[in-house]
Structure 1
């Protein structure tokens, strides 16, 4: 697995970016980058990741007609840590603080894995500030019923040493303000992953157009993916009833990490996501008569 991750990471490339800034947000020195002009869209990376190894390949596409604001979350990349747990509520609050700093009232959100759940949590906690959501490999229910008991047993076994010679460890040491704090990040993310949640009631209230992306071999199974799509307002006859506000994309031959570490899947998202962001939803029926 380590070899595959290294190969995929180098294939994507760790490109450098200009327009980099740091802002004091809720006790963090939060690193972010701004690319392009237009409707704002905030990018939220996955756990152990940063802007380059999550978003490098897709930022140029989105920046053609968006103001892309790529964020590094608490303890990740070049953003400092603080003496608080990493929680979805805290990450949502940090994004809200950054938007205040940038004087941005409303934004679109695109998150992957941990960042996808943070995007949904932001939409729940700050519904008036969201115009559209793209969430890849993230769910609104996270418990043994969905993930299975073996998943949580696996999380318990995670140690900093397991990341040796992987891009995650290497990138942390390259970018972090305190490169020796990787074990602290690992422990905080373990605690995040060991905390179950069920946002069903709040998730049903999300009213903005949303695109949910999963791999067909993702951590969650297809039964959950179908439930997620239905709960978000999908599963309708689009010809007869029109397209709903919710869309679903299941990537073929894609594991959880493969959603972004497989360049072929990134190419699919580069084609699909911009179309979704421009599309008027819900859409009227297209069936003749």
Structure 2
């Protein structure tokens, strides 16, 4: 998940807030619950299910992905930093009933290698395309959350002939400098030691974890996403966010919606950043008509 807190100056403040935050009767207790605990409502170990797993080489890194179901292809992209495919479990369960679901562990997450390139959204979009070159020749729909949604924006701009639709959850306009990222493994590990032990155990390059945090911090601190990218997207886009999204504040989401030429908007009432974890029914009800409609 991309860690974005509009009014706070440090990444640490965000996690203190999220760990103590209670929404819709569900207490968020540490990163395991927030990102991959029983809130996912799936019994499948997505992101670490080697019976469904594959690798593809994309430039300088091996990218891990899993394939489920049959039908028209949908790519599912998880959030950044503490994100993993498991957080998308209920969405993958539901989508794979009628679609071929391609769940990708993005560069530096889970079983995917870091490589030596900057983990930019341009590069992540290129990684997604490398997976698709291996899996399908059809146009795909992308369902992305936070970091995955931003990757979806860039993929739609870079590869317009490969995408049918995009569902972007929790990703608004991004103005350079309106938040500060200063991340390190020690801080994150202290938040939830067991979560990071699980993650380190499946990462192919665990000794590079501090390098990864440092590289991400530098990239995010210099990032700007506006009409230059969003205004070039041609496919239909469902821009979705929780009303109380702390990471993609309401006004940034509205700005993104207005910048995208063929956009629809869905705001989930009283929901935070991971809206699909706390109110899946509302998210799914909003997504289904968009996924089913003809362009």
What band does the TM-score fall into relative to the shorter chain? Answer: 0.7 to 0.9
> Residues 42 and 253 from structure 1, CA distance in 2 versus in 1: closer, same or farther, beyond 3 angstroms?
same
Report the Cα distance in structure 2 between the residues aligned to 1:276 and 1:168, rounded to whole angstroms. Answer: 34
The structural deviation recorded for 1:199 is 3.6
Q: Which residue of 1 aligns with 2:44?
A: 15
Report the Cα distance in structure 1 between the residues aligned to 2:122 and 2:39, rounded to whole angstroms. Answer: 30
Query: 1:129-168, aligned counterparts within 5 Å?
Result: 129-144=162-177, 148=178, 151-152=179-180, 155-156=181-182, 158-164=183-189, 165-166=191-192
Structure 2 segments unaligned to the other structure (5+ residues): 1-17, 20-28
Query: 1:91-240, aligned counterparts within 5 Å?
Result: 91-144=124-177, 148=178, 151-152=179-180, 155-156=181-182, 158-164=183-189, 165-166=191-192, 169-218=196-245, 219-233=247-261
Note the alpha carbon deviations across 1:199-237, whole angstroms, 9 max, x for none: 41332232211111112222233333222222224xxxx
Q: How many residues align?
A: 258
Report the Cα distance in structure 2 between the residues aligned to 1:140 and 1:129, rounded to whole angstroms. Answer: 23
Q: Is the 8 A contact 1:77 1:171 kept in 2?
A: no
The structural deviation recorded for 1:106 is 1.7
Are positions 1:254 and 2:279 aligned together?
A: no
| TM superposition score normalised by structure 2 | 0.80
Q: Which residue of 1 aligns with 2:15?
A: none
Q: Is the 8 A contact 1:80 1:177 kept in 2?
A: yes
Q: Is the 8 A contact 1:88 1:117 kept in 2?
A: yes
Report the Cα distance in structure 1 between the residues aligned to 2:153 and 2:135, rounded to whole angstroms. Answer: 21
Report the Cα distance in structure 1 between the residues aligned to 2:138 and 2:44, rounded to whole angstroms. Answer: 30
Report the Cα distance in structure 2 between the residues aligned to 1:105 and 1:96, rounded to whole angstroms. Answer: 12
RMSD, aligned α-carbons: 2.1
> Residues 202 and 193 from structure 1, CA distance in 2 versus in 1: closer, same or farther, beyond 3 angstroms?
closer
The structural deviation recorded for 1:98 is 1.4
> Residues 173 and 117 from structure 1, CA distance in 2 versus in 1: closer, same or farther, beyond 3 angstroms?
same
| TM superposition score normalised by structure 1 | 0.81
> Residues 44 and 7 from structure 1, CA distance in 2 versus in 1: closer, same or farther, beyond 3 angstroms?
closer
Q: Is the 8 A contact 1:47 1:189 kept in 2?
A: no
The structural deviation recorded for 1:71 is 0.3
The structural deviation recorded for 1:140 is 4.3
Note the alpha carbon deviations across 1:168-191, whole angstroms, 9 max, x for none: 523421321133332122112212
Q: Is the 8 A contact 1:108 1:133 kept in 2?
A: yes
Structure 1 segments unaligned to the other structure (5+ residues): 234-244, 282-289
Q: Which has the larger radius of gyration?
A: 1
> Residues 103 and 39 from structure 1, CA distance in 2 versus in 1: closer, same or farther, beyond 3 angstroms?
closer
The structural deviation recorded for 1:109 is 0.8
The structural deviation recorded for 1:40 is 0.7
